Amino acid sequence: MPEPAPNPDVRSFEQLRDALLARIPVHAPEWADHDVSDPGVTLLELFAFLAENLSYLEEESSDRAPETLAAVRERLEGRLEYVEAEAQRVRSALARIEAVSPRGS
Give CA angle at 73 (55, 58), nearest 5°: 15
pLDDT at 9: 60
Rg (CA), the chain: 21
For each successive 10 residues of the chain (105 residues), what is the average pLDDT?
A: 49 88 89 85 90 76 67 79 83 78 61
pLDDT at 60: 65
Query: Where do the domains of the chain lie?
Result: 8-65, 67-105
Give the type of residue at 100: V
